[in-house]
Amino acid sequence: MNIVRHVLLDRTGTYPKSVTNPHLVRMLGKGLALIDGEEWKRHHRVIHPAFNIDKLKMMTTAMSDCAGLMVSEWESELVGGGAKGGGAVEIELSRRFEELTADVISHTAFGSSYVEGKQVFLDQRELQFLALSTSFTVQFPGFTYLPTKKNMKIWSLDKKVRGMLLDIITSRLANKDAAGYGNDLLGLMLEAWAASEDGASPALSMDEIINECKTFFFVGQDTSSHHLTWTMFLLSTHPEWQEKLREEVAAECGDQVPTNDMLTKLRLVNMFLLETLRLYSPGALIQRRAGSDLELGSGGIRVPEGTILTIPIATIHRDKDVWGDDADEFRPERFENGVSRAANHPNALLSFSSGPRTCIGQNFAMIEAKVIIAMILQRFSFTLSPNYVHAPTELITLRPKYGLPVILKSLKV
């Protein structure tokens, strides 16, 4: 853990990011998640205000609106032809959460342009599958630049995604009002871009804005959907905790749509979400590259320039030296005194990374998860379907290979 801490807390640029597959760069966008140095600092200064507490409070409403539509659809399915005897219905949740988190990203990143943003997501997801498929094949030098059928499809989709994003941006620029370009993420980036036109800084170029939109789509949507999926899996397999969380939500929220103030009081829900991240972190590893010849740790491990350093999140999150003898057990109460006191090292939970490169959307992701889980607990009870097959699979992010089917029941009499 000391070496991990040394690498992640470094502020000198000694350990830059490492992504070697150009198709993955196309998918993620060369935004905050992939850039380094002064370029990263410039992007961070522009985007960070989008995630301050006031902006997050505004985004909470968009999150609850999207979640409300989803739970209403579930209620319709329960009273419709799909319900089994006893007023229950089987629902596959992983795909539902993919759609939900795409809606949330579309609303919070693109605001009034969310319909077009949703179409970007659909094409971005296809690009994601194609890019992922190249990760499991031998990559010869220059192969990604050859006009193969798969490469041409990737190029075409990337061009289409960039074109749609540019159309959204162009429309937003043309419809600027007295309040500016909007209070969403895109609006803030356009404000910075417009400032550069007057000679001010910091600023993002149009191409950089497009890349940040792509990054926010993948990082914000994909990881959030899988966090929700694994949370529902653990709630389904631990009915005593499902009831504890439901009682807390009832006490703090009643049957109202959760507000930001209510969410801050959901201590058990927060502990449960953190334990889910520990056991089933959407991101299974962090990679850095040695920017020069250097020594790691007090043991004097020599590492040549260009060496890829892999931090195995999943392994560290179940390490008994870090988390104690119960590291393999599901125990949300380990987080009752906060993240820094949950393990033998204060930076042991690495789902959002650590140090200066901690995920900028960490608070966004946790608020989104609390809103959605609270609204589900207000309306439904659920158990794991007998059709579920436990097969966690890592495809950049950790997901259930065969989805998450659950048996859903309404709490309404």
Distance CA 324, CA 326 (A): 5
Task: Kindly write down the DSSP assignment for every residue of 223-278, as one continuous string.
Answer: HHHHHHHHHHHHHHH-HHHHHHHHHHHHHHHTTSPPPHHHHTT-HHHHHHHHHHHH
Q: How far is C-alpha 106 from the geometric centre of its chain's CA atoms? A: 14
Specify the pLDDT at position 144: 59
pLDDT at 86: 56
Spatial CB neighbours of 299, under 8 Å, sequence gap ≥ 6: none
Q: What is the CATH number of the domain that holds 115?
A: 1.10.630.10
Taking only the tens place, the pLDDT of each residue in 362-413 is: 999 999 999 999 999 999 999 999 999 999 998 778 999 999 999 999 998 5
Q: What gap in Å lies between CA 37 and CA 240, rounded to an integer?
A: 47
Q: Which residues of the chain have pLDDT under 70?
A: 19-23, 27, 81-86, 112-114, 131-145, 196-202, 297-299, 413
User: 3-class SS at 142?
Assistant: coil
| CA distances for 265 relative to 150, 243, 272, 291, 344, angstroms | 49, 17, 14, 44, 26
> Looking at the 3D structure of the chain, how many domains does it have?
1
- Structural domain for 228, as ranges: 2-410
* End-to-end CA, the chain: 51
Question: What is the residue-averaged pLDDT of the chain?
Answer: 86
**pLDDT on residue 202:** 47
Global pTM value = 0.89
